[in-house]
Amino acid sequence: MRLLSREREACERHLPGLDDKLASIALMELESPDSPGIGLYKSAGGAGLLIPTVHGGGGASAVDAVRVTRALAARSPSLAVATTMHQFSVASLVALAESSTGLEWMLLDGVARDQRLMASGFAEGRTSSGILTPTMKGVWDGANWRVSGRKQPCSLSRSMDLLTASVALEHPEQGTRTGIALIPAAAPGISVTPFWGSPVLAGAESDSVVLRDVEVHPDLIVELTTGLDGELDDLQTLGFVWFELLVTACYLGVAMNLVERVLTAGRGPAHERLGLGMAVEGAALALDGAARNLDDGDGGNDGLARALIARFTVADTVRATTAKAVELLGGMAFASSPEVGYLAAASNAIGFHPPSRHSSADALLGWFSGRPVVID
């Protein structure tokens, strides 16, 4: 067995040929604003990865999903981050369809059949905010919602076919509620403007998506509820779990790329190389375990706690192994190519996704004492 062999096997099984195609393209080309990665992902069937096979999708399990994400991240961090935003939206829509008699299955059929990508207009880039904190406002006009607001950064901004977004719905009589809207990217009133100025993760297409009085039919908005004790409803909780597992897999895949370079080059003492391999493989096993809990039906409050624990534990491993791998690869590897420095910089973005460890500390301490996890 080689490092990343399980990840690449899962990627080949679900997205045949994609890993080889990505491997044949230079890293910095894949990470550029004009990266071919997203197009290759769509062509391989990536949009339907998590959609059940009965609806034309790949039917991937959570375990396979985190493995595929690690494989993608080891080839192109930008592609992994961008497609994570699509997949966690799809996973939430699948869960909603299982308990609804609405149009969700028709939408999923369309996503799988036509390989439609969903951008995520949630709060992934703000560490002080919850993932579902509304970034937009909806006003009722008597027949439809009129949605306005801005999401920046918004991955897949230029390749999206649909936009999923958290919206503060201003009811004329019921006050303000939080909803999730599913909006066609071609809807009148949607525009994309430049935002992402960093060369790191530029291939994720994380620009600014602006909505100005966009008409959204009520059938395309799902209102969410929060209990009196602050607990999230089942759909929100499941969305959190998927997001934490997939976004963690992104940055672990980046660290595994650097460790693979160390092992391939035989850099450093054997015991230090072994330590790096054990660290990232152990982190992968921990993440797979949290994903397996989700496959077993633990997508509720306990599943959320375990996903957050995996996220923060793996983040520590990513930081430590990235720093050590860069050291072992040496100054010549760092100076002769932008790739090592780039991967090290990309790995740091794991700290930019909500919730932060600080904001989660009391919630997780409470969970260890038998209380539900409450995320502000």
Q: At what angle do helices 77-98 and 104-114 cross, to 10 degrees?
A: 150
How many other C-beta atoms can be found within 10 angstroms of the C-beta atom of residue 98? Answer: 10
* DSSP, residue by residue, 210-264: EEEEEEE-GGGEEE--B-TTSPBPHHHHHHHHHHHHHHHHHHHHHHHHHHHHHHH
In order along the chain (376 residues), what is the average pLDDT of each group of 10 residues?
A: 94 98 98 97 96 93 98 98 94 80 77 93 52 81 94 94 91 82 94 95 96 93 57 72 96 98 95 97 97 91 93 97 96 90 96 88 91 78
Buried b (16+ CB within 10 A) or exposed e, 138-171: beeeeebbbbebbbbbbbbbbbbbbbbbbbbbee
Taking the CA of residue 95 as centre, how many other CA atoms within 13 Å lie in the half-sphere pointing to its CB? 24
Q: H/E element holding 167? A: strand 162-171
Picking from 7, 1, 47, the residue whose alpha carbon sits closest to that of residue 287 is: 7
DSSP 207: E
Q: How far is CA 165 from CA 104, 105, 182, 210, in A?
A: 16, 19, 7, 12
Region of residue 73 (left: phi > 0; alpha: psi -120 to 50; beta: else): alpha
Amino acid, single-letter form, for residue 132:
L
Amino acid, single-letter form, for residue 96:
L
Over residues 316-359, the pLDDT tens digits come to 999 999 999 999 999 888 888 999 999 999 999 999 888 889 88
pTM: 0.92
Over residues 170-227, the pLDDT tens digits come to 988 778 888 888 899 999 999 999 999 999 999 999 999 999 999 999 988 887 754 4
Q: Give residues with Cβ within 8 angstroms of 52, minimum separation 6.
A: 59, 94, 108
